[in-house]
Amino acid sequence: MSVRLYTHPACFEHDPGDGHAESPARLRAVLDALDAPRFAALARVAAAHATRAQLERVHDSAYVDHVFASAPASGYARLDPDTVMSPGSLDAALHAAGAAAAATEAVLAGATRRAFCAVRPPGHHATRSEAMGFCLFNNAAVAAAHALEAHGLERIAIVDFDVHHGNGTQDIFWNNPRVFYASSHQIPLYPGTGAADEQGCGNIANAPLPPGAGSDVFRTAWDDHLLPRLDAFRPQLVIISAGFDADARDPLAQLQVHVDDYTWITQRLCELADRHAEGRIVSMLEGGYDLAALAEGTAAHVAVLLA
């Protein structure tokens, strides 16, 4: 069964401004990499908008209203020091969250076993009530909430290997034992959360990594700490916040991860999904700000999903 690739041209229209790290060029680099012949088996799907009901499973209604009301007709609207909306941003964010819900629906309905959502803006910093760190709606959280509410799953894992801690995802599911959140990330680094003692109701596992940590430290954190916790949880669905900014080339952080590490962690997560979740994986693009590293990391990740 082929892997589905969810994206939408509207995701190019989110433009935070000249010089902003989260540029439309990121998505172009990803999609160009996935146009290579070895990805011919990807089934490409245009993502619809998320509904208000899907957004309000994870965001306060007042916050959703605020994002809609902030969308500018021209120019820019700044929601926080790093998070900027242009006239195309709301449409892009709705398609990004819609991709998360649609991919989850397809995987759980048996239409495909795995899906990758090549969308922007990213999502894992968006909390219930705040836009943060380039993120408007929390796409991974929308995916998990759809699985909980529409399909009644009891155990969902959100796995995050972005170099920045997914504080928004942790915030949204802090007291929800049906969702297990596991993250490796650099500390100290934005957003300043993700210490090992942040454990929610026992459903949070953080593995902070020091600046300069490379492949050995990254893999040890997953092998010795995060993957055993995920195995013990026995998830029925694995959702991945797939950020590629832990790469040594990324300008916004100082980890020393390489493309082979993305192949390795994706293989381990596929094995986890095969053991507990009938192989079901929904992966969401998050960060990655060196275009070559982003393209290579994404290609390595999706190649394993296709294997």
Which active-site residues does the annotation give?
A: 125
- CA–CA separation, 183 and 161 (whole Å): 6
* CB-based contact 94:186 (threshold 8 Å): no
- CA–CA separation, 207 and 187 (whole Å): 9
Q: Would residue 132 be called left, alpha or beta, if left means φ above 0 and alpha means ψ between -120 and 50 degrees?
A: beta
Q: How many CB atoms lie within 10 A of CB 201?
A: 10
SS3 243: coil
Render the burial of 256-278: b for 16+ CB within 10 Å, e for the rest: bbbbebbbbbbebbbebbeebbe
**Total residue length of the chain:** 307
Residue 157 phi, psi (nearest 5): -105, 130
- CA–CA separation, 246 and 284 (whole Å): 16
> DSSP for 94-109?
HHHHHHHHHHHHHHHT
* CB-based contact 106:115 (threshold 8 Å): yes
- Give Cα 86 distance to the centre of its chain: 22
- What is the DSSP pairing of strand 43-46 with strand 4-7? parallel
- CA–CA separation, 277 and 236 (whole Å): 4
